[in-house]
Structure 1
């Protein structure tokens, strides 16, 4: 274990120049041997989005109510895991003592340093948090937070990795359960040394009633949570009108960037087979991500714009590519 050093490179969280220091994140270049426990088959991020949208839309279709969604943001979530707390949680779950001991060895006594250009910091030994850049750290964080669960007929906690949302299906203005659940979650985070970033926590209200009542804002540590009309949740732009226009606009902008990279690869005389592999693995997987939700609900002009991008990509890779209609 002693030879597995963690090298961290500060990287901007947004693709903009002249970023303030607080916008940089420590990107860990972990050793290959540490990248263990790959993804679970047939379970992915789209399942989490499906569950949330199904509950919200089912409620809106069956009653004249509203849906309130508070998306909570953790501050340095993976760096705040306490190994001793995790050990107790794993033991209570009945995890093998040998596996628990191995995980403790994996998390504690980790030598690491920060590299910025030619400058390298002194090496320090860390025993807090989980090494990022591996799949295992996501699994461990999921187990660390799995104790807090809530799922009633009208209110539930939606968790996927470090993304947490509290969803409330409201009838006749009854919001006591929703607000109590949020406060209970805040208290649980405090006792488990997880810090909420109130400046990035947002709330979205889906309400088609007329007149539309103004909801009372949620308060966290004395700060009112900001209401938003759109929010990017797990890679999908959700809208308070359940309209996919914002999501399709974002896809269109990113699609133009992907076409640029395809053209650049073509200019290097990359063979057509490799161009097609790049399209299928990088471009198409992102272009049609979560199409099961928005594919049948978008406007005709958005569908035409997407198919136009696919046709342009097809002319670059030299073959006919699947359109949105054929994907669905």
Structure 2
């Protein structure tokens, strides 16, 4: 018998004659044991960086950038000056491949374990009482050191941060935009790290403001800002399927600073003119997953509580690669329809077109390829632009529709066949909207649910794109498991099992830790 939790890894199997009266099972597995080895490189050692000296050098050299009035030339000069000052002032270190080591296993402890192993080998050879005592002394010392390391308090899971007052001065605002960057943010394709921007914010702010103003005047962006590095992260399912990976896109941190400024202006304009529908809860101020769930569940509960036999039919829609399929020209047309024109529209056009991306994995990188459609993933502006693109969808249907970015749900209280026909007609209209707007619904992942506390469900047939929708009794919506009777037993059971698994994992790995460490692990990992 061959037991395997991943059947797709088994390419072939056969029964062969064994050495006794039992047959043997021969199986061939598709297992790639090779791991990409990152090539060593010389990197700046930011921990030993002389920040006062580096700031002084940047202040001297960046004055030349302020005299350049061409955007690409100014960005090239800024980046060249930055690289030159860093290489001159910051010591280098040789990169090492990251290994998955235990955080408490430091150099001193590894040395103690090595001495213990050497004394054990010596005792095995000599077999004397003295060598045995030396080994046991070293063993007790190393075991005590391990217990003390495990008993150290864990770092704070939620560090306290002081609130900062935002002043209405342009340069001060730009400095704050840099300071709120996370120093550990992934470095973009332009190789400008967040720690350098944060520690040299006051020095770099004038030159960055000059480049930002050149970009807004020229309605263009430097080439480095229009390139993205994509890292594939496996999702649940078959790892051999390349489509079963979530692409994590990283763009220029400097470009994101300007994007944030443009986004604030654009979001304020759209909110003032009420361009975005009220039922869109994704990537908007004072809107969240919580607001969408509260409003939706309140509507469903009110409908089915009218009488014990009330029914609400909900259709959970799933777009296939929604963010990647947005046509640029149609998005620009919708922006223009909402009153965004002139230099602002031209800047947004150049933000979208002419972009490229490459895949970065295991220290290697692919050749860049042109991105011809989609809003920019990993950017600050991308989610808001997607909201603009789907803003006309609610006007297409007559039934209730709620959205959180690309998560879309339509529902209707069903009291007669006319309500079923209306809901089916709206599904057809949504399908037509998708065709006209270059979007595609994943019919296999679109499902229907009859929300009711009645014993006999109403299950009329709904279709979209020629496919019949499957009825489900539970559905996950924004991380919450919705049951057809709107009771929370199923959601509680799922969360309880998940918490029990996490608690078991923590208990097995924290046996020698103090109560304080265990409590911190429980509050951080299990309780949420």
TM-score by length of 2: 0.48
Pick the aligned partner of 1:20 from 241, 244, 247: 241
Q: In the TM superposition, what are the counterparts of 1:145-294 in structure 2 within 5 Å?
A: 145-150=390-395, 155-174=399-418, 175-213=420-458, 215-256=459-500, 259=503, 279=523, 287=528
Higher strand share: 1
CA pair 212-227 structure 1, distance change in 2 beyond 3 A: closer
Q: How many angstroms apart in 2 are the aligned matches of 1:67 and 1:131?
A: 37
Cα distance per residue 1:111-162 (max 9 Å; x no partner): 211123344221122131122123422211111001111499x821111100
Residue of structure 1 equivalent to 2:251: 30
Q: Give the aligned CA root-mean-square deviation in angstroms.
A: 3.2
The alignment covers a number of residue pairs equal to 281
Cα distance per residue 1:77-125 (max 9 Å; x no partner): 0001111111111111112533322222221111211123344221122
Residue of structure 2 equivalent to 1:115: 360
Partner SS, residue 10 of structure 1: strand
Q: How many angstroms apart in 1 are the aligned matches of 2:251 and 2:501?
A: 29
The farther-off stretch of 86-95 and 132-141 is: 132-141
Q: How many angstroms apart in 2 are the aligned matches of 1:135 and 1:257?
A: 36
Cα distance per residue 1:39-88 (max 9 Å; x no partner): 54422111111121111111111143311111110000000111111111
Unaligned runs of 5+ in 1: 288-328
In the TM superposition, structure 1's runs of 4+ consecutive aligned residues that sit over 6 Å from their partners are: 260-270
Partner SS, residue 27 of structure 1: strand
Contact kept in structure 2, 1:65 and 1:209, CA below 8 Å:
yes
Residue of structure 1 equivalent to 2:291: 47
Residue of structure 1 equivalent to 2:385: 140
Partner SS, residue 253 of structure 1: helix
Cα distance per residue 1:24-53 (max 9 Å; x no partner): 232212232344348544221111111211
Higher helix share: 2
Cα distance per residue 1:202-227 (max 9 Å; x no partner): 111113334434x2221122211111
Q: How many angstroms apart in 1 are the aligned matches of 2:457 and 2:496?
A: 32
Contact kept in structure 1, 2:238 and 2:244, CA below 8 Å:
no
Pick the aligned partner of 1:78 from 307, 311, 323: 323
Q: How many angstroms apart in 1 are the aligned matches of 2:342 and 2:326?
A: 19
Contact kept in structure 2, 1:65 and 1:172, CA below 8 Å:
no
- CA positional deviation for 1:257: 5.6
Q: How many angstroms apart in 1 are the aligned matches of 2:523 and 2:403?
A: 31
Unaligned runs of 5+ in 2: 1-221, 265-282
Partner SS, residue 238 of structure 1: strand
Cα distance per residue 1:267-311 (max 9 Å; x no partner): 9999x79x969956x766xx3xxxxxxxxxxxxxxxxxxxxxxxx
Q: How many angstroms apart in 2 are the aligned matches of 1:265 and 1:41?
A: 41
Q: How many angstroms apart in 1 are the aligned matches of 2:469 and 2:254?
A: 42
Cα distance per residue 1:241-266 (max 9 Å; x no partner): 21212211222233346557877997
Structure number with higher relative contact order (C-alpha < 8 Å, ≥ 6 residues apart)? 1
TM-score by length of 1: 0.75
